[in-house]
Amino acid sequence: MIDTLLLTIKIGLDPNLFELVGLEISWHGLFTAAGVLLGVGTAAWFARRAAFEEDTIYNLALALVVGGIIGARGLFVLEHLDSFRDDPAEIFNLNAGGISIYGALVGGTVGAWLYAVIRKVPNIPRVADIGAMGGIIGMAVGRIGDIVNGEHFASTTGLPWGVVYTDLNNPSFIRFGPQALAQHPAVAYELIGDLLIFALLVFVYYRVNRAGVTFFAWVFLYGLLRVLVSFLRLDDIVLAGLRTAQIIAIVTMPLGLAGMIYFLRTPPPEQRQTRSERRRQTREKGPEERPTG
C-alpha cells in the first residue's frame, strides 16, 4: 500500500503576509490582485487583435472588476446571513474576508454587460468571449492564494496525495487541529480545471470562430467543474445534498448549452447581411427577371 504521508504536502505559511496602513495583506489578496491583473491583461491582448479600442477594453475591465467585487461579497453575505444579522455594518468590511467566486462571475458579467449596452459597444458576444478567457485565467491565479490560505475546507482523502495545514493561524488548522488528516486539495483541482478550460476556450475561440460560443462554453464548462469539485468541499449544504455553487452551476449549465447551440446556428453578421441583400435584390427584380422553374 502507498504511504500517503510521503505524498502529503504540508503548508506551514501564515495566511497573512504583512500589514499595510492598517490592512492585513494575505496570500489570498495578493494572488487575487495578481489574477485580476493577468485576467485583464489577457483580455486586452485578445481585444486588441479583435480591433477593439483601447479605452473600451479598460473601461469594460473596470466595470467587470467593480461588478465582480459587488457580486462576490453580495452572494457570500446571502449565503451567511446569520453571521451579519447582529452587525449589518460587517457586510462592508471586505478586509475581514468572505467572498464567493460564483458571485464574482455573475456580478462581473452583469457589470461588463451593462457597460457594453449603455455605451453601445459593438459586437457584445465577441466581447463576452474575450472576457471569458481573461476571467478563467485570472481565476486560476487567484486559486493559488486559496491553496496557501487554506480557507476552503475539503474532505479527507485516501488517495496517495493530499494537503495538511500546520500554521497556527491557518483557518484549516484552527478548525481541524494539529492531528488533522490529509484533505483533498480541492482548490488545486479547480486551479487545474481552470487552466484546462482556458485551453479549451482558446481552441474554440480560434477554431469555431463564432462570436458568443466561447462565452457560453465557459458558462457550461466552469459549471461542470464546480459541480464535480464541490462534492469534495465542506461548504454548507443548501438543498438536496447540494452546495450553493452546485445549484448555481446546475441552473447555468443548460443556459451555456443553449447559448452555444444558438450562436452555432446563427450565421456571422457578414453572412446575415449577404442573405438580407439577396432577399432585397430578389424583391427589387421584376417578375420577368426572376428565375423560373
Percent of the chain with pLDDT over 70: 84
pLDDT in tens, 136-185: 999 999 899 889 988 888 999 888 889 999 988 888 888 888 888 899 99
- CA 62, 68, 71, 76 torsion: positive or negative? negative
Task: Evaluate whether 191 touches 152 at the Cβ level (below 8 Å).
Answer: no
Residue at grid coordinates 441583400: 277
Task: Evaluate whether 61 touches 40 at the Cβ level (below 8 Å).
Answer: yes
- Looking from the CA of 138 toward its CB, the CA atoms found within 13 Å total 28
Rounded distance, CA 293 to CA 286, Å? 16
Looking at per-residue pLDDT, the higher value among 48 and 290 belongs to 48
Residue 108's pLDDT is: 87
Amino acid at 129: D
The two counts, helices (H) then strands (E), for the chain are 9, 6
pTM of the model: 0.83
Task: Evaluate whether 233 touches 153 at the Cβ level (below 8 Å).
Answer: yes
Cα separations (Å) of 196 from 83, 137, 184, 192?
Answer: 36, 10, 19, 6
Binning pLDDT at 50, 70 and 90, where does residue 4 land?
very low
